[in-house]
Amino acid sequence: MIYVDLRESVPSKYGKFHGGGNYSKRSVQLLKNTYDSLTIFIPTDFEPSSKKDKELLLDKKVTLIRVNSENEILLAEKNAILFIPLLPTKKFGIIDTIKKNNPNAKIFLTIHGTRYADSKYDPYDRYYYHGIKYTFYFLITYLSRFVGKIVYKKTFKTQIPKYDKIFTVSNDSLQKIVAMSQPKYIKPFYQGSNNFNEDPVQKTQKENFILFVNANRPEKNFLRTLEAFLQFKKQDTSNIKLYVTGIDDRTQDALLRYKKLDTKSLKQWVTFSDYLSDNDYNALFEKCKFLLYTSKTEGFGLPLLEACSKECSILSSWITATPEVLGSAVNYVNPYDVNSIADGINKMVNHSNLNQVAENIKQRKELCKKFIAQNDKEFVQEFKLI
């Protein structure tokens, strides 16, 4: 019997969207398609409300069990499998309780990246915060990261070997995990996207804007990218705009404290929106000139795959896992260098052969579609190979 702990993967008061949550739900769908039944643990206060959640969870193949904590996770079968598709590092230790209550169970965990180990002090991040953390950002960040990284690495070293199987979403993540721990078993399974199974992209007239997604989080590097875009606009004559998603009013106001931003130019050339519906989100990939994805750290980089599925050209950062996703089909910049980002934007906007850039993505899309199908097949087989 296969059990899935979905408690960390459903929407909460702390966030409406998370790439790991999409991975979790897609994994559940793959398991549903392959096996006769699943038992899924969810929080007691969670009620499936969206159409997709209802289709996924309110199904005759699925038994839902509501629990308050890992103490209530009890697996009926002696040699059952418990799959945890998303879990914060600070909670890796729940395996001790689960194993104590279910000594013969096999526990599988997906790790989506090593963001805390990758992160470093960045003065731009200060502007995402308020109060004491904004005022004393350097001191607080230096101390918290110094202590935090020690605890983080110790958690990996002590807890990861207790899991029966570790999955991760890129080779970059795999190398960093094994550098900090000695897992019993580890395999990379790249994230997939159901967008590749949809009808072929219809040819639509591209609109004159660049797309930036998920701007609310410091690691996405939006503030530095915004500075680079406004720098580019000083010489630009194309009237191209920047459309930004996933950012709330509070974060917008906080970022405007950064003195190097030309607020007049910003109001003229930048449009903000909060989180969008899946349909509206995917439509932006079809309409935009290209996706601007300058993240400072990624376990994978799902928006790159989503953009590819819509045959959308991409300008991306060249660090951590992002180059693994689409390889040479993407143009790259240094995410820590404003001039590099501005120059990258300029080259994309004024590319003499932009059609060839788009054709590269279109060809990579066909490779991705085949690879994802094989990757999915191998992933579900892991639950048979005990």
pLDDT digits (tens, 9 = 90+) for 71-97: 999 998 888 999 999 999 999 999 999
Q: Which residue has the higher pLDDT, 122 or 50?
A: 122
Q: Which of 324, 322, 325, 94 is nearest to 333 (CA)?
A: 322
Compute the half-sphere exposure of residue 139: CA atoms within 13 Å on the CB side of its CA. 5
How is domain 2-192+373-378 classified at the architecture level of CATH? 3-Layer(aba) Sandwich (3.40)
Q: Which of 195-209, 222-236, 237-251, 352-366 has the lowest mean pLDDT?
A: 195-209
Residue 98: CB partners within 8 Å, gap ≥ 6? 70, 73, 82, 105, 107
Give CA–CA dist 312/195, Å, rounded: 13
Statement: residue 12 has pLDDT above 80: no
Statement: residue 204 has pLDDT above 90: no
This prediction's pTM = 0.92
Q: Left (φ > 0), alpha (ψ -120 to 50) or beta: where does 261 sit?
A: beta
Record the tokens describing residue 201, joined without a space: 């992209």
CA distances (Å), 89 to each of 27, 182, 263, 301, in order? 20, 16, 39, 19
Q: What percent of the chain has pLDDT over 70?
A: 96
Topology of domain 195-370 in CATH is Rossmann fold (3.40.50)
pLDDT tens profile 242-291: 999 999 999 999 999 999 999 999 999 999 999 888 889 999 999 999 99
Mean pLDDT computed over 191-211: 82
- Where do runs of H (alpha helix) occur along the chain? 19-34, 51-57, 94-101, 115-118, 131-135, 137-159, 171-180, 222-233, 249-255, 263-269, 278-287, 302-309, 322-326, 338-349, 354-381
Q: Is 118 helix (H, G, I), strand (E, B) or coil?
A: helix
pLDDT tens profile 226-247: 999 999 999 999 999 999 999 9
Amino acid at 370: K
pLDDT of residue 199: 65
Compute how many other C-beta atoms are within 10 angstroms of the C-beta atom of residue 313. 25
pLDDT band at 194 (very low <50, low <70, confident <90, very high): confident
Please give the torsion angle defined by the CA atoms of residues 188, 29, 84 and 385, in that order, rounded to the nearest 10 degrees: -60
Q: Is 102 helix (H, G, I), strand (E, B) or coil?
A: coil
Stretch(es) of the chain classified as CATH 3.40.50.2000 = 2-192+373-378, 195-370
pLDDT tens profile 25-70: 999 999 999 999 999 999 999 999 888 899 999 999 999 999 999 9
